């Protein structure tokens, strides 16, 4: 079950955290994995996958630039019939209200979290229309509930939800499925960097505080998101499209 043999996958932001976990798991399940990331350190994930017997490739790519995304997709489709799976994982965060969010910050988040996702879908859809495929977008609990000081981030993740539904509706007749996952706090290198930057000397205290905002009492792990991603992109989920899945330790439904 959940085999991805003979499937070609694109994972954006696959150099660390959730994206890394998805890339490693998809390769383990037989997919040829292509990681798109602006950070050249993502090449280390490729080395890890290939050393374990998987097949993967790294493409340095600024997702906010459509021409760069198109060049990568064109290079891939010149060697294979189609791209079967796209996981839009790449994203950046921002802390602030509408008043404290500058135009520069707003544009920066939009260009990566929204335009970057649009660019990838825009370039992959034409090839997927030939044989079908699965698109998975990483949204957030911030697209379901109000989170303090997350104005720009919440805006972008709300847009992700809208894109997911629109693509699912427009391409259902082409056997293209589009779903999204909305995680709560997941323990990634980003979280550690955030705590170090904003709460120096109090990292452990704040980690515990943030962990307990999930009713389950802890943060999620990247692998826990990756396993759901695997299911949604596999043939076993062939009857699922236009859906969002909370991976949140009860945050949205159980926080009263």
Q: Which of 118, 153, 171, 245 is catalytic?
A: 153
| Cβ atoms 224, 22 nearer than 8 A | no
What gap in Å lies between CA 154 and CA 150, rounded to an integer?
Answer: 6
Q: Which residues contact 99 (CB under 8 A, 6 or more apart)?
A: none
147: its two tokens: 């989170």
SS3 of 13-82: CCCCHHHHHHHHHHHHCCCEEEEEECCHHHHHHHHHHHHCCCEEEEEECCCCCHHHHHHHHHHHHCCCCC
Positive or negative, the Cα torsion across 18, 20, 24, 30? positive
Q: Is 153 a catalytic residue?
A: yes
What gap in Å lies between CA 133 and CA 74, rounded to an integer?
Answer: 17
End-to-end CA distance of the chain: 37
Element (H, E) at 137: strand 133-138
| Cβ atoms 232, 242 nearer than 8 A | no
Task: List active site positions.
Answer: 153
């Amino acid at each position: 079950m959940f085999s991805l043999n003979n499937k070609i996958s694109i994972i954006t932001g696959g150099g660390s955290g959730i994206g890394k976990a998805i890339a490693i798991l998809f390769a383990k399940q037989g997919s040829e994995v292509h990681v798109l990331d602006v950070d050249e350190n993502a090449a280390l994930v490729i080395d890890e996958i290939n050393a374990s017997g998987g097949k993967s490739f790294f493409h340095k790519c600024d997702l906010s630039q459509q021409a760069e995304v198109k060049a990568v997709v064109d290079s891939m489709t010149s060697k294979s019939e189609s791209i079967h799976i796209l996981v839009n994982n790449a994203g950046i965060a921002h802390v602030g209200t509408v008043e404290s969010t500058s135009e520069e910050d707003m544009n920066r988040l939009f260009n990566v979290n929204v335009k970057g996702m649009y660019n990838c879908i825009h370039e992959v859809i034409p090839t997927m229309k030939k044989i079908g495929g699965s698109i998975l977008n990483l949204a957030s609990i911030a697209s379901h509930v109000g989170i303090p000081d997350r104005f720009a981030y919440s805006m972008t993740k709300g847009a992700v939800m809208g894109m997911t539904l629109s693509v699912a509706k427009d391409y259902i007749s082409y056997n293209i499925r589009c779903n999204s996952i909305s995680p709560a706090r997941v323990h990634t290198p980003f979280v550690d960097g955030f705590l170090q930057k904003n709460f120096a000397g109090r990292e452990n205290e704040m980690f515990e505080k943030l962990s307990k905002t999930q009713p389950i009492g802890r943060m999620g792990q990247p692998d826990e998101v990756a396993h759901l991603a695997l299911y949604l992109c596999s043939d076993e989920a062939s009857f699922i499209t236009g859906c969002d899945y909370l991976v949140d330790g009860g945050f949205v439904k159980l926080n009263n």
